[in-house]
């Protein structure tokens, strides 16, 4: 029987949601049944074998909605295979490395065991609906490494197929 996987994201401007969708597509192509949802859309994690949670990073902090999701479903998530990812570095050099999970994300996870964490680069569009000062102080561009996203999703799919 195919694994049932929930890929859930806390995305402020859509970049993290696009990463989540790619992860979901790769895992679905490997034979799993996958739902990709915003943390705000999730009503239950029951019925899923695995959950992959991603959040955008801002000043090394996960989105508050990711924290609310973790608080709401903590007991259920403790019984599931869990993977987590962060997205956000707007720097090609940093985006090319797998930065460790931030202290804030660890605090939100509150001791939940997860199988792996990855940090992916982020994206800031020149027309992003942000404070104009952000556009003056942060590099504009897409710093996501799609090959790294794909490879991580393939590794998760392999882990799920092996049980």
> Which CATH number does the domain housing residue 65 bear?
3.40.50.360
The three state secondary structure string of the chain is CCCEEEEEEECCCCHHHHHHHHHHHHHHHCCCEEEEEECCCCCCCCCCCEEEEEEEEECCEECHHHHHHHHHHHHHHCCCEEEEEEECCCCHHHHCCCCCCCHHHHHHHCCCCCCCEEEECCEECCCCCCCHHHHHHCCCEECCCHHHHHHHHHHHHHHHHHC
Give pLDDT tens digits along the chain (163 positions). Answer: 579 999 999 998 789 999 999 999 999 999 999 999 999 999 999 999 999 999 999 888 999 999 999 999 999 999 999 999 999 877 777 777 788 999 999 999 999 999 999 999 878 666 766 666 665 666 666 879 999 999 999 999 999 998 7
Structural domain including 39 reads 4-162
Q: What pLDDT score was predicted for residue 130?
A: 67
Q: What pLDDT score was predicted for residue 137?
A: 60
Provide Rg for the chain, Cα atoms.
Answer: 15
C-beta separation of 77 from 110 below 8 A = no
Number of separate domains in the chain? 1
φ/ψ of residue 151, rounded to 5 = -60, -40
Q: What pLDDT score was predicted for residue 25?
A: 98
Measure CA 147 to chain center.
15
């Amino acid at each position: 029987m195919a694994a049932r996987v929930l890929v859930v994201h806390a995305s402020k401007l859509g970049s993290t949601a696009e990463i989540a969708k790619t992860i979901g597509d790769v895992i679905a192509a490997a034979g799993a049944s996958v739902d990709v949802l915003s943390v705000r859309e999730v009503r239950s994690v029951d019925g899923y074998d695995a959950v992959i949670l991603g959040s955008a990073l801002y000043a090394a902090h996960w989105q508050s909605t990711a924290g609310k999701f973790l608080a709401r479903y903590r007991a259920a998530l403790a019984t599931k295979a869990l993977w987590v990812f962060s997205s956000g570095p707007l720097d090609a050099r940093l985006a090319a490395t797998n930065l460790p999970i931030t202290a804030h994300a660890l605090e939100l996870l509150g001791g939940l065991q997860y199988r792996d964490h990855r940090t992916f680069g982020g994206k800031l569009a020149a027309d992003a609906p942000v404070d104009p000062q952000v556009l003056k102080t942060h590099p504009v561009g897409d710093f996501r490494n799609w090959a790294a996203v794909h490879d991580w999703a393939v590794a998760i799919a392999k882990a799920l197929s092996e049980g």
